[in-house]
Structure 1
Amino acid sequence: MASGLKNLSDFSHIEVKSATGFHFGIVVAQWNAAITGALLNGALDGLIKHGSSEDSITVIEVPGSYELITGADIILRDSKFDAVICLGCVIQGETRHFDFICDAVANGISNVSIKYNKPVIFGVLTTDNQQQAVDRAGGIHGNKGEEAAITAIQMAHIHKAF
């Protein structure tokens, strides 16, 4: 597996543009709070490191990953936002619940993006176990929250250009 070999949050091969002047919304799930809190910290660090001010970032918490969809919709009702980052963590259990939630969240987030014609970033970990989530929330594979922030910056620039 390629991800077993490296930190996936390495952006040295791309030019990350400035986040200055853009407004970002972050919707974060409260479920699996240790993981989603680390993702949130990564996203905030990524945005601020690339020029965003704290005043241009709005964070709302929702109960779980399924509710990220509604949270993104609520944020985008305010046209000042240039992109929304959705952060959650769904860990495989013993039932098919995992499959239904992951599918619904992915589809819902893409539908909100289409509805508002704005970037809505999928920063939801869908892992087989707790350790995989830890590894991707600031562990050996980097921080997917930071990756989502970089994606939001890049997509906000693309959206503005067109």
Structure 2
Amino acid sequence: MPIIQRQEIKGHMLASLKGDHIPRSWLFLDTETSQTIKDEITMHHFHVGWTCMWNRATDKYEENEDWTWFLSAGGINGYIQEMGLRYKYLHVVGHNIFFDLQAAGTFAFLTSEGWALNFYYDKGLTYILKCERSGVQMTFISSTNWFDQSLKSLGKVVGLEKLDYDFKHPDAD
């Protein structure tokens, strides 16, 4: 077995870290879909969606949150864009967010509205997508990046159990 010998390495000063910013504006979302099966292929269709717009407290601002629900994909997509344009740097989080964005047609919507893809990473449970329009940036992140479990299990852990939903009678409660 070869022996690794210590080599002399010229030292240098490290640059200061610049990545200590904690985003202020967060939009959490979840969608529910209805399903149709055609030729053994299951198609998921947007049925209802919920968002929680949360702005964390800073020296200048108080914390606030606003819950909204949507009965149309156009409604939730318009809201995502509106919040992005309002807050300029928005982080959008969903559990397996790719599914939610696909079900709501968000990719096609953002493209049609002039948003450009800046960065994309999808490997295993990690999903990050960044897009920009006229200096406004939105970052879409899957909460599976941090929590490797189902949303139902995660809800139990934090004391917010996932509720059953009656698809035939949509209700915000």
Q: Normalising TM by the smaller chain, what interval? A: 0.3 to 0.5
Higher relative contact order (CA 8 A, sep 6+): 1
Higher helix share: 1
Q: Which entry has the higher C-alpha Rg, 1 or 2?
A: 2
Q: TM-score, normalised by structure 1?
A: 0.36
Q: TM-score, normalised by structure 2?
A: 0.34
Higher strand share: 2
